[in-house]
Structure 1
Amino acid sequence: MAAPCVVTLVLTVLLVLLLLLGAWKRWRRWRTASRHVAVVVLGDLGRSPRMQYHALSLAKCGFSVTFLGFYHSKPRDELLQNDRIGIMGLTELQMLAVGPRVLQYGVKVVVQALQLLWAFVKMEPSTYVFLQNPPGLPAIAVCWLVCCLCGGQLVVDWHNYGYSVMGLVHGPTHPLVLLAKWYEKFCGRLSHLNLCVTCAMRDDLAQNWNIKAVTVYDKPASFFRETPLDLQHQLFVKLGCIYPAFRARSEPSDSAVEWSAFTERDSRSGLVTHRPGRPALLVSSTSWTEDEDFSILLGALEKFEQLIADGENLPSLICVITGKGPLKEHYNRLIVQKHFRHVQVCTPWLEAEDYPVLLGSADLGVCLHKSSSGLDLPMKVVDMFGCCLPVCAVNFQCLHELVRHEENGLVFEDSEELATQLKTLFSEFPDPAGKLNQFRKNLQESRQLRWHESWTRTVRPLLVDI
């Protein structure tokens, strides 16, 4: 008897809140014409770069923006300092530790629905609600109801499919996964406008979901660019205070010269140069989860270490792996057990402003992203290309929409192939005539569109002011 009473009470509260929300919002809209947009992420705002870019572009186009989601890590300063953008943080509910899994998910969904409703009550009426999917449960349904009651329009930005991400944990035939797929497919059709990240996803949405979407490719923001040598040196010295991999292995004989592992600066002239015989800098980014198979990179580094030990003419290698996640400490222990001599692995968590500087300072990027649906693209590669950083990326279904093999980088299938590519690319390092620098030159000459320029061409014309 208790369970039906609780469900009835929850549904009654939701209905009352919706009615109050609708009445209040319509009164507010009658009082003032709104050019306000809510950008919603049921995830960490600081780790949602595409939605940050949406918010910034909307603000540049004259909208006031509320950026709504979980505030675990800091978004970019450019967003925090924008007078047109306000951040509204949600409190993330931890899963219950007791009871059936279905009950745990049910309670979490109901609480998040109430949180979203209350957030919309507190904010200005919205002309548009931009929603990231995944996660879309319960956000798609809640945002659609709010838009219906308040006269706004729902814009769903499809980054992937939520049910396919759940399927990595529970298996594709699990009842929760099937329920999530039904919900996503049904509620996804309720939006007024759909955006997606690849043409492959656009076609899949049209053919299998009956959803018409517009492809909006991820593009690098303006701050992703090649880093001047003096800024590289500043970053390396800063990181060297914390991480030994960035420090020179000896002190300079001249006290007027400052060394990092890669650069040296003469304090008399201010001139910064690369150090002779410097190591190569490889950068990768991962969420330290099983879906991004770090073991591929670790296996390739082992083979690269052995090549140097066998006398191959290759530079020593410093591999920087950024990100945080549940398996980070597990893999850190595995790295220590390898006892590398010619390869150093560093796993820092960087400030948002330092990450693009690091990418713009690196010699090669490695992407381990594997899509759960096969239909999205790794934004980390977009950022690397913005810095004219060549990439080796693990292959999957639609990667060709971003990485063109032998033109702006290389595509690999396993650790053996990645190790071969590292050998090929670094065999002439740092010769400017080498293959690695040819890829960089191709990226420099490609004149890539930046995010806001691309956004104003593709998204802004779709928004009709109300």
Structure 2
Amino acid sequence: MGVIFVFALLPSRYTPQAAGSRQPVSVQILVLGDIGRSPRMQYHAISVAKHGGHVDLIGYNESSLHPDLSNSANVRVRALAPPPAALRTKSLPFLVTGPLKVLWQVGTLIWMLAYQAPAAKWLLVQNPPSIPTLAIAMLVSILRNTQLVIDWHNYGWTILAGTKGPNHPFVEISKVYECVMGQVAPTVNITVTAAMAAQLKEEPYKVTAPIVTLHDRPAAIFKPVKAPSERRAFLERLPETKDVAASIMSGHMKLLVSSTSWTPDEDFSLFLDALVRYAEMEAEHPILAIITGRGPQKAHYEEQIKLLQTQGKLPNIQILTAWLSMEDYAALLSCADLGICLHMSSSGVDLPMKVVDMFGAGLPVAAYSKYASFGELVKENENGCGFETSSELAAILVRLCSSSGADELRRLRIGAEKEGSLRWDEEWDRVLAPLFGLSS
């Protein structure tokens, strides 16, 4: 009752636009996470703005954003206040910090959605995280006459099960909550795969609101390298590659790239073990592996890498971690020989955005493949290769990084460029522009 009373006191300037208004379409886009590490939601904002819509992009503003956001007069980034450091520490048990963090998020979300950001025709919410995002978004959408759209990237409860264990009491609570919210909250649902769309219609989700599938597609910033001179110039400029640029350009050293948020759904020990196996096979070419990104397990894996190097288990192999700007990351992908993806889908029906970006840059991939939706993106022996074990990945590396594998790698690169040729703008204009009432 108290929350409803507070909403009743909303100033009139926050009321939605009157029916028949000719003002531009307005959209709130909510990310309960770092906006800079949510490329799909940034792309949504850019697409709405390109069509003349007004966007309030809401989330934690912790890292650099896509350059098109900074250049758009139609997008306003509204930063959420992050939880206090005491709620983000691991020194206190999750049973204590978890509920307190949720309460903090409830307060900041209500303040932002109901008071700081003007009312909009549409509220587009990233899921996960689902707690407390979906409940607050539903409440705001009802009281402000806003159409709620959920963009399902994955399921929050399956991610929680992966970090806390399937028997943790919060996992079942999260599952029930997410299923109920999916049934009652949205006007429209968006999914990243057709497999997820089909699953949402079944038990235990039983979503009845309309569902559309919008596959991730690369943004314009990801593109194949145009000429060898362009590749050389970048490799000679980037600190991580400048000392070996000549060796990479000659084909003597192979450049591998992976990106990660350093979370438990990506087991990088599998990649490290594959590189150890590659070294043991006395493979033909040395490797430089660059792993980009930030996240909670980065220090853990950096220690593993250091230990393997100290033990002499990685001869002729360099492994570097890096944090790059969007522009440099896109250029690095276009200059690499092979992309590596360790994404292990907690739900079995999501897809890794990083592979989409790699294809946009014309980079073939070796990707973990043991989940149902894998084939919606990676076509075996057309644009990449799948693996489930470190020995299978090592065999792929030996084959593709050898002189005899040059023709296969070239064929996979052609396939990657073909898959990446369908761009985000084309897919978004076809699927979502009509939904939001924007001209395609």
Alignment TM-score > 0.5, same fold: yes
Query: Percent identity, aligned pairs only?
Result: 38
Does the 8 A contact of 1:22 with 1:146 survive in 2? no
**Is 1:456 the counterpart of 2:397 in the alignment?**
no
Tell which deviates more after alignment, 454-463 or 28-37. Answer: 28-37
How many pairs were matched up? 423
User: Equivalences for 1:250-399 in 2 at 5 Å?
Assistant: 260-262=245-247, 274=249, 276=250, 278-308=252-282, 312=283, 314-339=284-309, 340-397=314-371, 398-399=373-374
Matched residue, 1:7: none
Q: For residues 109 and 412 of structure 1, what CA distance do their matches in structure 2 show? A: 37
Q: Is the alpha carbon distance of 1:150 and 1:29 closer, same or farther for their aligned partners in structure 2, counting shifts above 3 Å? A: farther
Q: For residues 49 and 257 of structure 2, what CA distance do their matches in structure 1 show? A: 32
The one-letter code of the counterpart of 1:225 is K
Pairwise CA distance, 1:330: 2.0
Pairwise CA distance, 1:111: 2.1
Q: For residues 230 and 73 of structure 2, what CA distance do their matches in structure 1 show? A: 28
Does the 8 A contact of 2:157 with 2:171 survive in 1? yes
Deviations 1:293-349 (A, max 9, x none): 1011101111111222xxx4x211111111111221221222122232311111111
Q: For residues 343 and 107 of structure 1, what CA distance do their matches in structure 2 show? A: 45
Pairwise CA distance, 1:100: 7.1
What SS is found at the alignment partner of 1:374? coil
Q: For residues 419 and 217 of structure 2, what CA distance do their matches in structure 1 show? A: 13
Pairwise CA distance, 1:464: 3.8
**Is 1:17 the counterpart of 2:6 in the alignment?**
yes
Q: For residues 130 and 251 of structure 2, what CA distance do their matches in structure 1 show? A: 50
Does the 8 A contact of 2:383 with 2:419 survive in 1? no
**Is 1:417 the counterpart of 2:409 in the alignment?**
no
The one-letter code of the counterpart of 2:252 is R
Runs (4+) off by over 6 Å: 96-100
**Is 1:191 the counterpart of 2:186 in the alignment?**
yes
The one-letter code of the counterpart of 2:291 is I
Does the 8 A contact of 1:224 with 1:356 survive in 2? yes
Deviations 1:48-68 (A, max 9, x none): 000000000111111110100
Q: Which runs of 5+ in 2 are unaligned?
A: none
Pairwise CA distance, 1:30: 8.7
Pairwise CA distance, 1:428: 1.8
Higher alpha-carbon Rg: 1
Matched residue, 1:404: 379
Q: For residues 221 and 435 of structure 2, what CA distance do their matches in structure 1 show? A: 26
The one-letter code of the counterpart of 2:64 is K
Q: Which runs of 5+ in 1 are unaligned?
A: 1-10, 249-259, 264-273
Matched residue, 2:44: 54
Pairwise CA distance, 1:38: 0.5
Q: Is the alpha carbon distance of 1:104 and 1:338 closer, same or farther for their aligned partners in structure 2, counting shifts above 3 Å? A: closer
Does the 8 A contact of 1:279 with 1:317 survive in 2? yes
Matched residue, 2:58: 68
Deviations 1:221-252 (A, max 9, x none): 11111123344333323322xx3x5414xxxx
What SS is found at the alignment partner of 1:462? coil
**Is 1:115 the counterpart of 2:108 in the alignment?**
yes
Tell which deviates more after alignment, 16-25 or 41-50. Answer: 16-25
Deviations 1:93-135 (A, max 9, x none): 1427798744533332222122112112122220100100001
Tell which deviates more after alignment, 138-147 or 128-137. Answer: 138-147
Does the 8 A contact of 1:315 with 1:429 survive in 2? no
User: Equivalences for 1:78-89 in 2 at 5 Å?
Assistant: 78-89=68-79
Does the 8 A contact of 1:360 with 1:388 survive in 2? yes
Pairwise CA distance, 1:262: 4.3
